[in-house]
Amino acid sequence: MLIINVEKCGGFDRAVKVFKKKAKSTRLVEELRMRKTFSKPSEKKRAEKLKAEFKNNWMSSHQEEN
């Protein structure tokens, strides 16, 4: 949980800005989106495989250009 003291930040607008920065750096929003729905372990493995395959293909295509 992120805790931000509004008085120390110097106002509400500044506190919101600090909150957004902290949330982005801790990947809080991404985790909340992932936990929104349940995904089976097999679905997670499949998604990781596809992501790795995409990265591999992308890297190999860019290395050939140089």
Range of 58's domain?
6-65
C-beta of residue 2 within 8 angstroms of C-beta of residue 28: yes
**Count of domains for the chain:** 1
For residue 1, tell me if it sits in a domain.
no
Give me the chain's average pLDDT, please.
90
Q: Is residue 54 part of a domain?
A: yes
Confirm whether 39 is domain-assigned.
yes
Length of the chain, in residues: 66
Q: pTM to 2 decimals?
A: 0.52
CA angle 37, 56, 43 (to 5 degrees): 20
pLDDT in tens, 18-48: 999 998 999 988 888 889 999 999 999 999 9
- Asked if residue 15 is part of any domain, the answer here is yes
